[in-house]
Amino acid sequence: MREIVLDTETTGLDPYADHRLVEIGCIELINHMPTGRQYHQYINPQRPMPIEAFNVHGLGDEFLKDQPVFAEVADDFLEFIGDDSILVIHNAAFDMKFLNAELEWLDKPRIAMDRALDTVQMARKKFPGSPVSLDALCRRFKIDNSNRTLHGALLDSDLLALVYLELLGGRQHGLSLDPNAQNADGGGDTKRVLGPKSNRLEPRPHVISDAELAAHQAYIETKVKEALWLKKNEA
């Protein structure tokens, strides 16, 4: 069975409000095992990057202007995901909406929603009432996400592949363990990693400055405050 763990980054929340894809990352699994094959592509959105989105993923206009537009990479992307592979996506409705909008604008067939397996829904069923963000699930499963200072489609797909395998039942599905990744306290619990190091994510081709990291942290703090205010006023 072939599955594709998939994530995207975008300029905003709604493709029908002039927002576009800027990054796609995919990890191939065969029978729940990572093969080392992956697809990764930055995309020129042909529009300015809003600061709110930049603060999340750090992909700015200067970097993206030299990347191909979606029309130039669509066929390669479709070839990688194939016609019937299951697409494992965290909050699938969001990513599928953007992918299908981009395909629609090129008069290409849409990807059927029934191909998408939503790991948010899986996690909610497994851990009702608990946080199910990617970071929260990484903490729950002791998956090392220390490189995730900013969102990134391939990095997040890499982490999601580990989370997905844990949601399926963990090590009996073939997770390999890095014997050198011990807990900070020296305990016996190891942090789980995906396959051999040579198959893992390469460094991002652009450098995030201290100012950008500070802006990202400030953005997250603002969102937390907004969520707390909404919760308080809904009570």
Q: Which residues are catalytic?
A: 151
Long-range contacts formed by 196-205: CB under 8 A, 24+ apart? 196/36, 198/36, 199/34, 199/36, 199/38, 200/158, 201/147, 201/154, 201/155, 201/158, 204/152, 204/155
Half-sphere exposure of 76 (CA within 13 A, CB side): 15
CA distance 57 to 176: 28
Q: Name the packing angle between helices 119-126 and 153-168 (round to 10°).
A: 40
CA distance 2 to 81: 9
CB 39 within 8 A of CB 77: yes
| Residue 188, phi then psi, degrees to nearest 5 | -80, -15
Query: Which amino acid is present at 132?
Result: V
Interacting residues of 116 by C-beta distance below 8 A, sequence separation 6+: 86, 87, 89, 92, 96
CB 26 within 8 A of CB 39: yes
